[in-house]
Amino acid sequence: MRHIFALFITLISINTYAFKLSPMSITLDKDSEFKGTIQVQNESSEPLAIEISMAKRVMDTKGSETHPEANSLFEIYPAQIILTPKQKRSIRVTWKGDKKIESEQAFRLIAEQLPIEIDGKKKAGIKLLLKYIAAIYVTGDDNKSDIQTAIIAQKENKLSIKIDNKGTKHQILKDAEIILYSGKNEFKIKTEELKNLAGENILAKNTREFEIKIPTTNKIEKIRLKFND
């Protein structure tokens, strides 16, 4: 019983701070004068301190990301804010880099809650500090995706494939389906069977690798990927 009581005391001492960031993806291009707006809203009953920073979005073949700092390429205003309870504030994002964009560049906008003191005193309890990460794309006039798919290896009913985006704009594999060709036979894999692939984002000039389960052990000679823009 003592352990249960201790857990209850810990739980009621947690100060949960909630804020909302929207939209979660924006594109900066010539039409928008390379400017965009993100809104931050404090949904809690406590004041919140938020810091905004920018990072390059670097993705490996498995989809893992690293985020090298990229603040110098953008003007963020304001970069730090304090929101009163229920307050909403707009954050202006402006691209300061080269306006001649040959290939789309992908970034992350990171909105991170900071510890805050009220009347010079830190609040007691465990503070759960939130972080939101939005997608920012800096895009040129004629940027387009160009998705190409190839087989890496097959082991019985498991197929390793790579998806290359040789184009100059990211592509989300919305409602993705795959058609496999083995001799005169065709096998279709539907969206719901491609949970690790459907909806994935293939950045410009980037390659992703996936392993999928296929409905045959026949040797697959060719593969075709279908998706909706």
* 122 to 126, 127, 158: CA distances (angstroms): 11, 10, 54
Q: 225 and 147 in contact (C-beta within 8 Å)?
A: yes
pLDDT confidence of residue 118: 59
- Distance between CA atoms of 215 and 186, rounded to whole angstroms? 10
76: phi then psi, degrees, rounded to nearest 5: -110, 125
pLDDT confidence of residue 229: 85
Enter the DSSP assignment of 61. Answer: T
pLDDT confidence of residue 1: 38
Structure-block tokens of residue 97: 């880099």
pLDDT confidence of residue 122: 56
pLDDT confidence of residue 5: 36
Q: Which residue stretches of the chain have pLDDT < 50?
A: 1-15, 17, 125
What digits encode the pLDDT tens for the residues 64-106?
999 999 999 999 999 999 999 999 999 999 999 999 999 999 9
DSSP string spanning 74-142?
Answer: EEEESSEEEEPTT-EEEEEEEE-S-S--SS-EEEEEEEEEE--EETTEEPSS-EE--EEEEEEEE--TT
pLDDT confidence of residue 129: 85
DSSP string spanning 165-227?
Answer: E-SSS-EE-EEEEEEEEETTEEEEE-GGG-TTTTT-EE-TTEEEEEEEE-S--SPP-EEEEEE
pLDDT confidence of residue 127: 60
- Hey, which CATH number is domain 147-228, 2.60.120, 2.60.40, 3.90.120, 2.20.25? 2.60.40
**Second CATH level (architecture) for the domain 19-119+127-138:** Sandwich (2.60)
pLDDT confidence of residue 116: 79
- Name the segment(s) of the chain with CATH classification 2.60.40.10: 19-119+127-138
Residue corresponding to tokens 């928008």: 32
Q: Is 145 helix (H, G, I), strand (E, B) or coil?
A: coil
